[in-house]
Amino acid sequence: SLKYKDAGTPLVVLAGGDYGMGSSRDWAAKGTFLLGIKAVIATSFERIHRSNLVGMGVLPLQFRDGESREELGLDGTETFDIELDDNLKPGQAIRVTATKENGTQVLFTVQCRIDTPVEVEYYRNGGILHKVLRDLAAS
């Protein structure tokens, strides 16, 4: 991840079901952020870990029912264009374009797993800590 971080390349994780399941969930989200991962596209998320990702400014995206990285033929070598705009809403559909090394593109739609308006604000500010610091600086 250091090579990508030095090159300014944001990272995307492709994952299966119950992403984030385990006993050290908050540290897992912190580690994800520290590695330079900006988004996780998973089949499903463990509830608390999903929230922790948002709190660290990492975008949780969920494949639609019946879709997975395997079903779409994604192997992690692709580059991803995630179509976000300033009108991000909880649960909205988001278009993703995955471009393979040979130039072939795979277009698919995922569900944004930012589930509440408060989480949208956390994400827009880069996570809970950044939001709190901005609020303190503004007061």
Per-run averaged pLDDT (10 residues), the chain, 139 residues? 83 95 76 92 95 96 97 96 95 98 98 97 89 79
- DSSP class of residue 87 equals T
Burial label, 8 (beta-carbon count in 10 A; 0-12, 13-18, 19+): exposed
Which pTM value belongs to this model? 0.91
State the Cα–Cα distance between residues 25 and 47, nearest whole angstrom.
10
- Domain of residue 7: give its range: 2-138
CATH assignment of the domain containing 119: 3.20.19.10
C-alpha dist (Å) from residue 18 to 46, 62, 118, 119:
5, 11, 23, 20
Q: What is the pLDDT of residue 24?
A: 65
State the Cα–Cα distance between residues 98 and 104, nearest whole angstrom.
8
Q: How many domains does the chain have?
A: 1
Q: What is the pLDDT of residue 79?
A: 95
Partners of residue 11 on adjacent β-strands: 37
C-alpha dist (Å) from residue 104 to 71, 77, 101, 108, 118:
16, 12, 7, 13, 37
Q: What is the pLDDT of residue 91?
A: 97
